[in-house]
Amino acid sequence: MGVHQRIDRLAKREFKKLIPHRAFFPTVHDILHFEGLNGPDGIKRKSPGQDEPWHYIDPTDPNDNQLREMISDHLHNLTQALRDKNEQRAAFEAAWMAHAITDGLTPAHHYPLEEKLEELRDGQGLESRNTASKKLVLPGKTRRHQFANNWEFWGAKGVMTTHIMFEWGIATTLAAGRMANTAPSGNDVVRIKSEGFMPLFDEALNRINELQLYDEFARVGWTRRLARETREHLMPEIVRTVALAWYACVIEAEKTKKA
């Protein structure tokens, strides 16, 4: 639906207001090249269950660090690519980091999907989902058990059905109109220089979690309130956070060059 691409464009617009004109950074065209089939979601089609980036996080667990570490790696790699003026690598890291941040801040990605999949797959880990058919069809001890597992996952109000429909709601809301309040605050821009990016990511994650949008959607479906919260709070928060992540890398790259 182009949600990641739209967020990248909006974040790049705000990001450009923060950096010096001379600062090196890939164009939005080059960044968008590494979305879609060339992005993290493309891996799921090309090699299911193998080296797939797992963009889920529990906002209530400060020790759930898999996504945080992934974002930190992208921060380091993008900074290095900017320092080396490696445009292709910088575009790749900027796109994949933005994708990870966007997914991590999207409420559907706060659901404990890994644990649920292991439960429905009789304890088998994510690595066992290594073909398209194994990703789409869950196993079961009997035909009745298999049907029950697949209904719980794909049926009405099923785990993945709810996930898909929530993200569909976000996509249609994002396409319906313009967003305001996407510019990072001056205070956050100052804090980036002394604290780095990750504390601001955690704060954004907590603010979004407090909205409880996904729980409400699971109960009552897509509502006008959810659409309003998505347009006025969720998506601007994500755009600001992506812009700040890119800005943090530029600042760090410039600092290292001067040193």
* Model confidence at 259: pLDDT above 60: no
Question: What residue spans define the domains of the chain?
Answer: 3-118+160-258
pLDDT band at 50 (very low <50, low <70, confident <90, very high): low
Place of tokens 């001056």: 186
Residue 7 to residues 118, 151, 152, 170: CA-CA distances in angstroms?
Answer: 32, 33, 32, 12
Tell me the pLDDT tens digit for each residue of 80-118.
999 999 999 999 999 999 999 999 999 999 998 888 888
Q: What is the pLDDT of residue 129?
A: 73
* Model confidence at 142: pLDDT above 80: yes
Instruction: Name the nearest CA neighbour of 241 among 69, 106, 82, 102.
Output: 102
Q: What is the pLDDT of residue 46?
A: 58
pLDDT band at 176 (very low <50, low <70, confident <90, very high): confident
More confident residue, 133 or 247: 247
The structure tokens listed for 215 are 């729980």
CB 91 within 8 A of CB 34: yes
Q: What is the pLDDT of residue 48?
A: 56
The CATH H-level (homologous superfamily) assignment of domain 3-118+160-258 is: P1 Nuclease (1.10.575.10)
Place of tokens 């955690």: 202
